[in-house]
Amino acid sequence: MIQLFTIGFLEVEWLDIIDVLLVTVLLYQLYKLLTGSVALKIFLGLLSIYLLYLVVKAAGMELLTIILGQFMGVGVLAAIIVFQPEIRRFLLMIGKTTAFNNDRFFKSFPWRKSQSPDKLSITPFIEAAKSLAGKNTGALIVFARSSELRYYAESGDSIDAVVSKRLLLSIFNKTSPLHDGAVIIHGNRIKAARCILPVTESNDVPASMGLRHRAAIGLTEVTDSIVLVVSEETGQIALVRNGEVYRNLSAADLRSKLNQYLFDIEPKVIEKASAA
């Protein structure tokens, strides 16, 4: 290995530089994941106890070292239990960015090319969104992509029905028992309704966005899904992707972005909707 320079008795090599950079990136991603949540304070508390353990061990305080040592001995198991939601989000975030998560990767195989599933028609969603927005009726529609979102679909009521405008309007009717929650679309079918989605813990969400928008942001932060939101308060239509919200969309804008995000059909001009 090629030596770069020496600091005292330390010999710094290229591998050491790469190692430090990778650890820095990992710690930065961990900080982003924990920022704004109570888990950050718990993590800092555990770190403080570990530093105290190192100090008392170096100072030769045997009794306190034994007590803190026993605590640190189960520290890994305790961290897994305490940080279970954050660990799950971290693994989902990693899985979301891998090449195997991209459905186009699997479609490149010869035996998958022969399969030609029916293409989803986005017209019923656009027409339903226009009708719901005109009546200030809230809606939350999830377009599943590489994953069927079975975990979230099982939190609601299974439907497995063909998509239609009238069915969507019936589900999100304010008197319907299924209206409170999200509808999950996979393939060209409505898989489930009244589904519970994870709510984002980010502090950067504007106060004007309600629980539907926060749930849409939370799901798209950990999956590659696209979420259509109709605001009950303002009647505005929004589309959420990768945690980013495009608000106050017209029917034409909605069709353009759905074609772009679901079918990779690039519009001639792509403009981000201005925040209301």
Residue 34's pLDDT band (cuts 50, 70, 90): low
Tens of pLDDT, residues 248-274: 999 999 999 999 998 887 765 444 433
* Domain final position from 78, 96, 114: 96
Q: Distance between CA atoms of 196 and 219, rounded to whole angstroms?
A: 10
Same domain for 65 and 130, yes or no, is no
Q: Distance between CA atoms of 173 and 17, rounded to whole angstroms?
A: 59
- pTM (global) more than 0.75: no
Residue 229 lies inside a defined structural domain of this protein: yes
Q: Distance between CA atoms of 123 and 61, rounded to whole angstroms?
A: 72
Amino acid 248: pLDDT: 92
Domain that holds residue 157: 122-263
User: How high is the mean pLDDT of the chain?
Assistant: 80
- For the CA atoms of the chain, what is the radius of gyration? 24
Residue 109 lies inside a defined structural domain of this protein: no
Residue 112 lies inside a defined structural domain of this protein: no
Same domain for 129 and 74, yes or no, is no
Amino acid 270: pLDDT: 42
Same domain for 169 and 255, yes or no, is yes
Cα–Cα distances (Å) from 70 to 5, 41, 43, 76, in that order, read 40, 22, 18, 12
Same domain for 205 and 91, yes or no, is no
Burial of 192 (C-beta count, 10 Å sphere; 0-12/13-18/19+): buried
Q: What angle do CA 103, 228, 175 make, to 5 degrees?
A: 130
Amino acid 19: pLDDT: 82
* Domain final position from 96, 130, 158: 96
CA torsion, points 187, 189, 193, 198, in degrees to nearest 10?
10
Structure tokens at 229: 């939101």
Q: Which of 7-21, 89-103, 132-146 has the lowest mean pLDDT?
A: 89-103
Amino acid 97: pLDDT: 58
Q: Which of 164-168, 191-195, 242-246 has the lowest mean pLDDT?
A: 242-246
Residue 236 lies inside a defined structural domain of this protein: yes
Residue 36 lies inside a defined structural domain of this protein: yes
Q: How many domains does the chain have?
A: 2
- Which residue, chain included where needed, has tokens 């979301």? 96
Residue 273 lies inside a defined structural domain of this protein: no
Residue 118's pLDDT band (cuts 50, 70, 90): low
Same domain for 80 and 174, yes or no, is no
Amino acid 132: pLDDT: 95
Q: Reduced to 3 states, what is the DSSP secondary structure of residue 137?
A: coil
Same domain for 158 and 233, yes or no, is yes
